[in-house]
A = this chain, B = another copy of it.
Amino acid sequence: MTRVLVVDDDSVLLRTLRINLRARGHEVLLAATGAQAVATFFAEQPELVILDLGLPDLDGIEVLKRLRERSEVPVIVLSARQHADDKVEALDEGADDYVSKPFSMDEFLARVRAALRRASAEAEAPETFTAAGLQLDFVNHHATRDSEPLHLTPTEWRVLAELAKHHGRVVSHEDLLRTVWGPSYGREHHYLRVFANQIRRKIELDPSQPRHLINEPGLGYRLQQ
């Protein structure tokens, strides 16, 4: 019973997608132009957007940017174009998945399921993180190290919140950068080095021997309890 917005100017494909998505139990909203898509999205707030890059008025990428200004909704991009540039650009701007036309309906529906699964998993952010002597309260933005209050800056909070959401697991550089700084910052790895260092100086007993904020070389960072 999730609501899906499908944006495409090809009426045949639109119809096919509507039939298949309805058969899977989704409510389907349609838009044939970029302007209509943006308007419908903010009016109806669907849980998922299927977005064709080839639109008559706005560029699909432009639609994606406008959605991302105010929403984290999962977006699956469709494109007939072969160039890898489109793919990179779309994913950088915050698309969750990219499907090249032609595609199989089974594959498409699998990607829809995957996108919705990821979105629902992300919805539940933890409110606190506690480890030996360390406490982080993400609701009140209040942190203590051995009952001593410690001050974290806004960006430090966002980094820690993202890591706490997946605590114990590696969060890749790209994921971390995209959720904290924005979809187009996936390659600015040096930000992370600076902030990891700063955060460790605050939350770790021995910052040179971190026990909580762990680096996995070449992969990303992990918040350990």
Contacts and interface: CB of A to CB of B under 8 A. Distances in A.
Interface string A76-101: 00000000000000000000000001
A170 B143 CA distance: 13
Contacts of A16: 1, 25
Nearest to A157: B219
A120 interface: yes
Interface residues on A, range: 35 or more
A2 B116 contact: no
Nearest to A113: B106
A120 B104 contact: yes
A141 B170 contact: yes
A176 B170 CA distance: 24
A117 B120 CA distance: 17
A57 to B, nearest CB: 25
Given A1-B101, A106-B121, 12 more contacts: A1-B103, A1-B104, A1-B108, A2-B103, A104-B120, A106-B116, A110-B124, A141-B170, A141-B219, A153-B218, A154-B218, A157-B219
Interface of A: 1-3, 16, 25, 27, 47, 101-108, 110, 114, 116-117, 120-121, 123-124, 139-141, 153-154, 157, 168-170, 216-219
